[in-house]
Amino acid sequence: MRILGCLDGTNAEQIGRAAQMFNATPPPAFGLLTVIDIGPREDIDRMRGRFLRAPMRHQPVTREMLAAEEAAAQDILSAGLACVQGAETLVRQGRPELEIVNAAAEWKADVILICPSAQYGEPPQLGPRFMGHIARFVLDHAPCPVLLVRQLAREQFPIER
């Protein structure tokens, strides 16, 4: 069994805990994926177009941007490896939702572990906006079962009947 955990920079522990649930024999092969989102760079390029300027790739600051992205990706993977030891690491660049499903297909993942959205503050309230667009896309388009890993929210229950 091969299980793919999707790291977003905030969920290494959650993915780690979920991974421990899979005590299969033979032991599953874990992969940890992080995607460098190229959306912001595309936006900056579009904005440069509005100001009639050439795309970013011609600018010296682009090197710094790429280095920062690479460093952040390595940082995220290190945090993931600390929680899921011995996992294979994968780095992709592009639109996160597309890269996750494509990487899962290429890596021949049997299960994808993903969190509803990156969590920078308090956990979000359960409800229709609970799941981010990336998790939504992966659920809809994944080539294999998807395990949505989220924090316990027992205090938000019972939901009014």
Partner 1 sequence: MFLFFPLPEFWRTILTSFVALVTLAGIMTRPFRWSEARIAVGGAGALLVLGLIRPADAALTLLRDWNTFLFFLGMMGLSAMAEAAGLFDWLAVQAARLAHKSAARLFLNVFLLGSAISMIFSNDATALILTPVVYVLVTRLRLPVLPYLFACTFIADTASFLLPISNPINIIVMSRYPLGLWTFLRLLFLPSLVAITLNIGIFYLLYRSQLKGTFDIGRLPTVEKAVKHKPYFRYTLWVLAVVAPSYVIAAAFQFPLSVISVAGALLLMAGALFWKRTTLMEAGKAISWPIFGFIAGMFVVVRAIEVTGLTIKLGNLLLRLSGGTSFGAVMVGTFGSALGTNLINNVPMAVVMNSSLSSVQQAAPAIRNGFVAATMFGCDLGPNLTTVGSLATILWLLILRQRDVEVSGLDYFKVGVLVTPVMLFAGALTIWLLL
Note the residues at the interface with partner 1 (CB under 8 A): 9, 37, 39-44, 46-54, 56, 59, 61-62, 64-65, 68-69, 71-72, 75-76, 95, 97-98, 118, 120-122, 124, 133-134, 137, 140-141
Single-letter code of the amino acid located at 74:
Q
Q: State in angstroms the smallest separation of the CB of 61 from partner 1.
A: 5
Least distance between partner 1 and beta carbon 53 (Å): 5
87 or 97: CB nearest partner 1: 97
Residue type, 99: E
DSSP 156: G
111-114 β-sheet, strand order: 88-94, 29-37, 2-6, 111-114, 146-148
Looking at the DSSP bridge assignments, the partners of residue 32 are 5, 89
- The helix (run of H) or strand (run of E) holding residue 31 is strand 29-37
Report the residue number, 26 or 60, with the smaller CB distance to partner 1. Answer: 60
Query: Closest approach of Cβ 160 to partner 1, in Å?
Result: 23
